[in-house]
A and B are shown apart, each in its own frame.
Chain A
Amino acid sequence: MVMLMKPADIFKENSEFFDRYSRIDSSQEFLEYMAKPLRQSIRVNTLKIERGRIGEIVENLKNDFELGQIPWCEEGFFVNTGVRSGRITLTVEHQLGLIFSQEASSMIPPVILELRPGMKVLDMAASPGAKTTQIAAYMENRGCIIANDVKFSRLNVLISNIQKCGVLIAKVTMMDGRTFRKWENRFDRVLLDAPCSNVGMIRKNFKYMKIWKMRDVVALSRLQKQLIRAAYRTLKPGGILVYSTCTLDPMENEEVVDSLLSTTDATLEEIKIPVKGREPFTEFEGEKYDSEVKKCLRIHPQDNNTEGFFVAKILKG
C-alpha cells in the first residue's frame, strides 16, 4: 500500500527517477504528495443534463459522498469518501453517463480552449476520451471533433466513453498524429495532450515510477516536438492550440513549447484560471528557453493536491 510507505522509500525503487526529479523539485512536500494516493474527482456531463441542473446531481450524490467544487471547472467536483464505502464509479449517475470520473487538473485544457458550438476541433491524442467528451460538452454537441489516437488498443475505451457521454459529433480516427501536418489551416482548435512519461500519474498508479527511464523522456521529447509542429500547422490562423502533459520534466514541457516558438510565429497567452501553479523553467541543465514560456502553467502535486500537470495556450497569428 502506497499510503504506508515513506516517500524516501518509494523513490528508492527508481534511483534514476529520484536523481532527475531532485533537480526539478527538491522539496519534501513534493515527495510527500507524490507518495499520497490521488484524490478522486468527477465532472458532470452537461450533454446529458442541463448546466442549470448540475446541482440536482450534486444533491443526489451528497447522500453518499462529500463533494467539493473544483475552482477552475464549474462542472468539476472533488470527491471525498462518504457514508457508504462504495465507489463513485458504481453509482447510478456514473453508470448512466451523467458524471464522468476525471482527474481535476486534466479538466484544464478544454476549459482554456475557448470552445463554442459549431467549431471544428482536433483532439490529436484523444484516448481515453475524458477531454474529448468535455470538449463536446462545451460545444453543446454542435460542430465536429476529430478524435484521433495512434494506438488501436486505446480506441476501445475512447469509443466506449464517447458512447457513455452521448457525444454525437466525434469522429474517431487512428493515425500517427504527425500525419496531420499534411493538412494546413484546417481546425479552429487543436488539443495536443501529448504522450508523455506520465509522472503526474504516479499518484494514481505506482507502476509509472517503476517503469520511468530517462531515455524514454529523451525519445518522448523528440516525438512531442514533432507532434506540436503538426498540431500548429493544422490549426487555422486565429485559432488556439493547447499543449498539455501529465508530466513535469522540462524536456517534455518548456523545451517542447520553446522549440515551437523558435521555429514558427506562434505566441503564448497567459492562462488565467483560479489554479495554483509555479514558475515554469526558463533554463534547465544548461538549456535556455524563451522567456515567453513563463506564460505556461506548471502544476506540481502539492500545489492543488492533484496530479502534476503542464499546460500551454498557444495562439496562431
Chain B
Amino acid sequence: MKENGDSIKRSGKKSGKKSGKDSEEKIEKVIGLLREQFGVEKVDFELKEMGKDRIYAFRCEEFEGEPDHLDFIHHGFYFGKLEKDGLRLSIEGSFLVGRLATKNVVEINREDVEKWMMGENLNLNSMNLNFKSGREYREISDGYVILKCGSYFLGCGKLRDGVIRNFIPKNRQIKVGK
C-alpha cells in the first residue's frame, strides 16, 4: 500500500519527530476529519505530527540504498493544524486535497480572491459565490471550509454566521499599494 491511493497513511518513523501513541491518535483524527469535513476518502501521501498539533504531509519514507545515518532536518510540508474544532488546512494542504474534496468547498470569484489574499474576511451574503449544483459542491456548513477559484486553492477559512474568517498567514498575503 505505497503511493497507490489506497488509503491515508500515517507515519512516525525516522523523519517524523513525534512517534508516540498520542501522535498516532492525532493522525487518526486528522484522517477522520478529512472524511467528515471535506469528504476526502482516499489520498496518496503520508502524514505525521511535527510540533504540537501541526501536521505535515510527505512521501518517500525511505528508499532502497538510501545513505544511512542521514539526519533529516525537514521532510515534506506543513499540511494543516489540528484545531479543537476541526482541521485547518494550509494553502498547500488545500492544493493537495482540494481536488478530492466533495463538501465544504466554497468557490469564489477573482475579485474575492484578491480580498482574501489581502487578509480580509469574506461575507457570504455579499459575495458573488459561484455555487454549483454538481458533485463538488454538495454541502457547505459552519466550520472550516476550503476556498477555491477555478484551479486555485486558497487554504481554509472558518465559516460562522455567514462570515468566512481569514487565516492566510501575513507572509503569504498580498499588500495593497506595493
Contacts and interface: CB of A to CB of B under 8 A. Distances in A.
B57 interface: yes
A166 B65 contact: no
A296 to B, nearest CB: 28
Interface in B4-62: 15, 45, 57-60
**Which of under 10, 10 to 19, 20 to 34, or 35 or more describes the interface residues of B?**
35 or more
A304 interface: no
B84 interface: no
A166 B72 contact: no
A249 to B, nearest CB: 32
Contacts of B150: 56
A146 B63 CA distance: 11
Interface string A174-192: 1100001011011000000
Interface residues of A, number: 43
A175 B74 CA distance: 13
Given A90-B175, A162-B77, A141 B15 contact: no
Nearest to A50: B151
Contact of A173 (B3, B45, B70, B175): B70
Contacts, number: 103
B57 A92 contact: no
A73 to B, nearest CB: 21
Contacts of A234: 67
B167 to A, nearest CB: 14
B174 A166 contact: no
Given A96-B91, A166-B96, A173 B72 contact: yes
A120 B92 CA distance: 23
B178 A183 contact: no
B73 interface: yes
A225 B58 CA distance: 34
Interface in B137-178: 150-154, 172-175, 178
28 contacts: A48-B153, A56-B151, A90-B174, A91-B174, A95-B117, A96-B154, A96-B172, A97-B91, A97-B95, A120-B63, A120-B65, A120-B66, A144-B60, A146-B70, A163-B77, A166-B92, A168-B45, A168-B57, A168-B77, A169-B58, A170-B75, A171-B72, A171-B74, A172-B72, A172-B74, A172-B75, A173-B70, A174-B71
Given A141-B59, A163-B77, 13 more contacts: A50-B151, A56-B151, A60-B110, A90-B174, A95-B172, A95-B174, A142-B59, A146-B70, A155-B74, A166-B92, A168-B45, A173-B72, A186-B67
Closest 10 CB pairs of A and B: A144-B60, A172-B74, A183-B67, A168-B59, A166-B92, A163-B77, A171-B72, A172-B73, A171-B75, A169-B60
Interface of A: 48-50, 53, 56, 60, 86-87, 90-93, 95-98, 120, 141-144, 146, 155, 159, 162-164, 166-175, 180, 182-183, 185-186, 234
Interface of B: 3, 15, 45, 57-60, 63, 65-67, 70-78, 91-92, 95-96, 110, 113-114, 117, 150-154, 172-175, 178
